[in-house]
Structure 1
Amino acid sequence: MTTDIETISMLRDSLERYTAEQYDFLKRWRVLEQPAGYSAAAWQNYAEFGWLALRLPEEEGGLDGDAVAQGAVMEVVGRRLLMEPLLASALLATGLVVKLGSPGQQAELLPALAEGRLKLALAHEEQLDGQSCWVEAGQLTGAKQGVLHGDAANRLLVTARDERSELQVYLVDATGEGVERQAYRLVDGRRAANLRFFGTPAERLGDEGSPSAADVLATAFDEASVALCAEAFGAASCLLEITNEYLKVRKQFGKPLASNQVLQHRMADLYMLKEEIRALTRTAQQAMLLPAAERGRVVSGARAYICHAARNIANEAIQMHGGIGVTEELEVSHYFRRLMVNAALFGGRDWHFTRFVESTLKSA
């Protein structure tokens, strides 16, 4: 799975042009006010431009995009704080169908995903009460929590144990029999859902010839973590641009704040953090080509540090803006909240730091 540099550059440029014209901060406000929590019109535009086909094989009309190509999309997601389920459906769930789905399932699902007619969401996190999901005689029982865009998905990919206690991924109709969805809004404005299943009809994703679901999921979660690293870089870059401009125009005692040497040094430190995020994101993207053990160590190390660095940048941006930095009307607060939510997805900073340390000790 590779994508050449020219294609990646064209992909990034097209995304940046579209979002600059159609998804500025004020237009994003209107998206936030919509009950669905995302723009259906923007989602259809993404499909028409071919962005939803990023993970599809070339023979299916897709780009077969690698981690670098996915990162180009996610950087723009971070810069513009896009609300649509690009990560949840177009990257993560579509990738699972490509890697794990049977030929028949791929023929059914992939065209609909690329055209934007179908939105998938992965339900993996178990409820805090420890109630797990299992499938018996083709019926799914159990509960999942914190399913990103789980309220907007037409169908769900649910991880559950089969009759042999092996982890599998099951395809479920989100509005079908025995599905209970509790939708809610996250602090960054995106939506999620808690799910309960009561004997819900479930179709295993894949067949007997498919690879191990556990292995495919492990790779998919690393891919999602790398994508979030790229999104953090996009958000951090935009935060610094906004803060730098604010310091130039905001005056105190007759002088711009940018003339204050202490603030200059603080901004220089933040730019160094941003460049570290860039470098570690590129390293994590390259690590997706490594064997699983080494890949996991590099990805988790990068993710843990990037979560820490991005939070520092967001904190400093708010501090330099003063009291208005935490208001709804200022975009700085929206970047802060997006970074905080992302830091808890797919393991979170503490989980990735622990994994990095354990992997490093094993390889020593």
Structure 2
Amino acid sequence: MNTDHDTISMLRDAAQRYTADHYDFLERAQVLGQGPGFSARAWRDYADFGWLALRLPEDEGGIDADAAAIGVLMESAGSRLLLEPLLASAVLGTGLLLRQGSAAQRQAWLPRLADGSVKLAFAHEDDAGAACVWRDGRLTGAKIGVLHGDIADRVIVSARNQEGDTVLCMVAAGDLVCGGYRLVDGRGAARLRFEGSRAELLGEAGRPAQDAIALALDEAAVALCAEAYGVISSLVTITCGYLKIRKQFGKPIGTNQVLQHRMVDMYLLQEETRALASAAQEALVLPLAERERVVSGARAYIGAAVRRAANDAVQMHGGLGITEELDVSHYFRRAMTIDSLFGGRDQHMERFTEHALTAGQPGERQCVPM
């Protein structure tokens, strides 16, 4: 379903108003100092606003939102550096349950995801030498770098069954060993270990999970593109304001032509990121090869763009740009994290290059590389 423009506009206005009123830099700093590392109050508010149910079908209390609507929420996550598990639970976890779960599983868990009483995380990458194996309802192995795995109530895990096929299973937080830690931007993550953990197979036995996982990872990449756009937009606003008030030799440093040119470059990065994020959102409904080419091309470029914008913002702020007390340093950390989550820039550039090089071969639709 394509979310209509009025709904997207209302969602954007609501997200911007709420985060401006309740999630400024000082309030976020207080959340970072708390044990869980996210705001339970904000999570309840997201549920009350219906943000956690965006992906649900209309007959299950959602609006069947497309990638553009999800992108609006992720823009706010980037522009205000939100710490809650929107990507891990509301985008990835909910999407996998919708696509792969049985009717009974959807009925049991989707309402609880929508009201915020359950938070999901997605564990996909295998720890070296400890790939997960699911057999007879039990899971063994380990996963590393699980975003928000430290606060998840349940974890969706990719594993191999006894036939060697990829499956998805769901594990309760109490049935695994969790080593939680903080990412560089302050959000939580975990290394998980499964020692014969009870694990419920997601969906029906024998149903392949590779396609669902591939699409979920592309959806995560597209969501991160929107989040990066939010980061760059905020950096442009913050840095432009700083150049107007910071004075040197009796006049604002923004009168320096070199800094003006750098601000123009940052603004161009912002607009390029916005266009590529939109193209990636539209590409999710394309055939597989085209989808992967466009999504990976956008993800690779935007990963570099957000790092460059963050670097420029820090440099134009001078020594203040790296201090804990200034918001620019926290945007820089979020930029680094975005660039490494769910397939970093190098991985997506490699996939984009492969599709671009094979686009003109017989049997392939001709595509123009970005």
TM-score of the two chains, using structure 1 as the length reference: 0.98
Residue 179 of structure 2 is matched in structure 1 by: 182
1:206-245 alignment runs, 5 A limit = 206-208=203-205, 212-245=208-241
Task: Name the SS of the counterpart of 1:84 in structure 2.
Answer: coil
The C-alpha deviation readout for 1:279-323, integer Å capped at 9, x for no partner, is 100110111110111100100000000011111100000000000
1:2-151 alignment runs, 5 A limit = 2-127=2-127, 129-151=128-150
Residue 305 of structure 1 is matched in structure 2 by: 301
CA distance, structure 1, for counterparts of residue 100 and residue 3 of structure 2? 21
CA distance, structure 1, for counterparts of residue 130 and residue 359 of structure 2? 35
Residue 157 of structure 1 is matched in structure 2 by: 156
1:261-280 alignment runs, 5 A limit = 261-280=257-276
| Structure 1 segments of 4+ aligned residues over 2 angstroms from their partners | none
Residue 194 of structure 2 is matched in structure 1 by: 197
The C-alpha deviation readout for 1:175-220, integer Å capped at 9, x for no partner, is 12xx11000011111110000000111111011485x310011001
Letter in 2 for 1:183: G
The C-alpha deviation readout for 1:207-244, integer Å capped at 9, x for no partner, is 1485x310011001001100000000001000010000
Query: Is the aligned partner of 1:349 residue 2:345?
Result: yes
5+ residue gaps in structure 2? 361-370
TM-score of the two chains, using structure 2 as the length reference: 0.96
**Which piece of structure 1 moves more, 48-57 or 129-138?**
129-138
Query: Is the aligned partner of 1:291 residue 2:287?
Result: yes
The C-alpha deviation readout for 1:12-44, integer Å capped at 9, x for no partner, is 111111110000001001100011010001100
Letter in 1 for 2:247: K
- Displacement, 1:2? 2.3
CA distance, structure 1, for counterparts of residue 66 and residue 57 of structure 2? 11
Q: 1:347 to 1:165 in 2, by over 3 A?
A: same
Letter in 1 for 2:185: D
CA distance, structure 2, for counterparts of residue 171 and residue 261 of structure 1? 56
- Number of aligned residues: 360
CA distance, structure 1, for counterparts of residue 352 and residue 121 of structure 2? 27
CA distance, structure 1, for counterparts of residue 99 and residue 12 of structure 2? 25
Task: Name the SS of the counterpart of 1:182 in structure 2.
Answer: strand
Task: Name the SS of the counterpart of 2:174 in structure 1.
Answer: coil
5+ residue gaps in structure 1? none
Residue 365 of structure 2 is matched in structure 1 by: none
CA distance, structure 1, for counterparts of residue 306 and residue 48 of structure 2? 33
- Displacement, 1:130? 2.8
- State the identity as a percent: 59
- Displacement, 1:266? 1.0
Task: Name the SS of the counterpart of 1:196 in structure 2.
Answer: strand
- Displacement, 1:342? 1.2
CA distance, structure 1, for counterparts of residue 328 and residue 344 of structure 2? 22
Residue 359 of structure 2 is matched in structure 1 by: 363
- Displacement, 1:349? 0.3
CA distance, structure 2, for counterparts of residue 75 and residue 163 of structure 1? 41
Residue 171 of structure 2 is matched in structure 1 by: 172
CA distance, structure 2, for counterparts of residue 62 and residue 260 of structure 1? 50
CA distance, structure 2, for counterparts of residue 147 and residue 269 of structure 1? 34
CA distance, structure 2, for counterparts of residue 209 and residue 21 of structure 1? 49
